[in-house]
Structure formats: structure tokens, C-alpha cells
Homo-oligomer: A and B are copies of this chain.
Amino acid sequence: MKINGLKNILEKKNLDFALFFNFDSMECNANMSYFSSYNGLGALIIPKKDMPFLLVPKMELERAKYSKIKHAYALEKKRFFESVYGKLKSKGIKAKRIGIDYNSSTLNFYRNFRKQFKNVKIKDISSDCFRLREIKTKNEKATLKKSCSHASKILENAIKNIKEFNTESEVAAFLEHESKKLGLNMAFKPIVASGNNASMPHYMPKNIKLKKGFCVIDFGVKYKGYCSDISRTIYLGNATKKEKRIYDFMLNTQKQIIENLKIGDCCGAIYDKCIKNLGDCSKYFIHGLGHGIGIEIHESPNITLNSKDSIEENMAFTIEPGIYTPKKFGIRIEDTIFMEKKPLILTKVTKDLLRI
């Protein structure tokens, strides 16, 4: 079905085929993985009319055969694009207009590609792929649900045991270890930011003693390739009344935004409403309000300033308002939401301020 969706786009844009590729053995190409379930090196070619196929280094051929794509071949020529060209030719597939994901194609790729494909037109299909991916299927919904349920349980467990940990790294290590034991990958490197470190939204946990004060934990796993994303802010030590008030204010803001989500809402407007709700505090809210989530941790829709995306049924995304006062403290509360007729919160860990 996903491949048919793409084929329709190729048809509409009059493209002969879509070409996805991955040259980095440490990473996978999201679209390649989405359409083929293959995560290795090589190329995925999805012709408008013919069967899709993979072209991979010899060392990956066996792995490619475990993917959803029936036809996988070894790259035979010295140069990658020579192999691609040869295989297209032998299959009689036209190569006049090609769909390329501009988001994952480098200038280096382009230079090498042009050496072989001299008079070919290329068109960007990155937005089309994002659009295909943002509406989730029933299977994807079930997988996201499971991914969020895993992440919630592991995070809950970490918070319950927080007194056992001395350092930020130890909390992060625990989150990862519990995940890995279940065969889950990380959706991203967990953030454990204690004390004034929490004022940096993308702070990376260090091998330092957990500091007193608010502690932001931002965590997610990948289950069968699908990401979850959840942040909770706990308090190490005794929160003052003022701190408790700020936390509750943030929590109410987050809850209200989620409760009010409706199909058809413009994402830019959701963001604006959040800014309005935050009032004077909004100057300390220095990142987007949320992002789509799926095989990648950041997908469409974007819930940010001026975003023209809108909320549709069967989208999955985060809602994560936060405030950060430089060198002092930070608070972020984040859930992964699945949009049915109404918003369904997939991440289930208490949001009451825990003081430990």
C-alpha cells in the first residue's frame, strides 16, 4: 500500500522511478526503510510500473533478502551508479525523469550521479514521502502504541528507582539498558538534565552527580522501527511553592493544548495559542511545540511558529511545551499523541510533580 501510494505520486509527477540510497553503514535511510524494511547499504528503486528492487553490496545481499522487497541484486560494478545504470538498462526501465529525496541526498551523491546519468531530470519527492508517512495505517498505529507503552514503562521504572542513581549518566544508562534488554533501540539519545543543566533543551547527560532541582528526562525507544517520545520533569529535593506553581502552570498548559486538539487545526495556530497561554513566560519557550513521529523521531506535521501543516486523523505527533531560564532551570512535559476523532495520549506516565 505504501509503495502504491508512492507509485501514484510517480504517475502524477510523470517520473519513471524513485531512487533511494544509503551509503552510510552506521545509519539507515528513513524512506528506504519505510518502503522496503531494508536498513542497510545500497539503493532501492521503485519504478512507476515495474516491481521495486534493491541493489546492495555483496556483504548485504543476505540481509536484503530478509526485507519486504522480493528482488535484491548485488552491486556488480566498481562505481555505484554504474551498477544502478546497468541494472535499469537490463530491466528495460526508462530513466528520463527520476524522483529523488532531496533531504537525504548529498551534493557528493549528486556529483557522482551526474557522471552516469547525464541528461536525466531529477525532481524532489521528499515532501511527498513525508505526506505519505504522516498518515499512519492501523498497523503503524498499533506499533506506535506498543513503542509508547514500552517507553512509558521503562521511564516509570527509572523514576521509581531514581534514588539508586548517582549520576545523570547512570539514569541514561538504565533507560538504555532496560530498552536494549527487550531488543529495543533508542529513538534518540536519552536526555537527563538535572539542576541548571535542564535549562538546555538538548543537553546531553554527563557522568556528574545528579543536581538538586528540576530534572528533565526525555526518552523514547524504537519498537519494530517506530519511535516513541516522552519527557517528564521531576524534582530532586524539596520544591518551593513558587517552583510547584510554575510546574503546575506548565502542566496545565500542556494538558489544555492536548484537550483542545481537533482534526483540521492549523499547527501554526496551535503554537500561537500555546504562546498566548504562556503569557510572559513565552519568552522562555525556545523550541517548537511538537513534531510528527513515526519511523523517524521528527516527521511531519511540524507544530511550530508559522507552520502551515494541519492536524489530520491518524497522525502521530508530540506536544511538548517547555520553559528554560538560562543557567537556572528547565521544565518540559511531553507526550506522544495519536489523533483519532479525538486526541489519544499514547505515553502514560503520571504528570503530577514528583518530588524525590
Contact = CB atoms under 8 A, between A and B. Distances in A.
B173 A180 contact: yes
A100 interface: yes
B167 A173 contact: no
Contacts of A188: 26
Given A172-B180, A182-B207, A189-B185, A107 B108 contact: no
A203 B39 CA distance: 10
Instruction: Across the A-B interface, give the 6 residue pairs with the lowest CB-CB distance, nearest first.
Output: A183-B207, A173-B180, A177-B177, A102-B107, A169-B183, A59-B286
A78 interface: yes
Interface string A176-202: 110111110100110000000001111
A230 to B, nearest CB: 16
This chain: copies in complex: 2
A106 B108 contact: no
Contacts of A327: 62
Contacts of A182: 169, 207
Interface of A: 25-26, 39-41, 57-60, 62-63, 78, 100, 102-108, 110-111, 124, 126, 167, 169-170, 172-174, 176-177, 179-183, 185, 188-189, 199-207, 286-287, 297-298, 306, 324, 326-327
A286 B57 CA distance: 8
Nearest to A104: B106
B185 A181 contact: no
Contact of A108 (B124, B177, B199): B124
Contacts of A110: 107
Given A62-B199, A177-B180, A286-B58, A105 B102 contact: no
12 contacts: A25-B202, A59-B202, A59-B286, A59-B287, A63-B203, A102-B108, A102-B111, A103-B108, A106-B107, A108-B124, A172-B180, A183-B205
Contacts of A169: 180-183
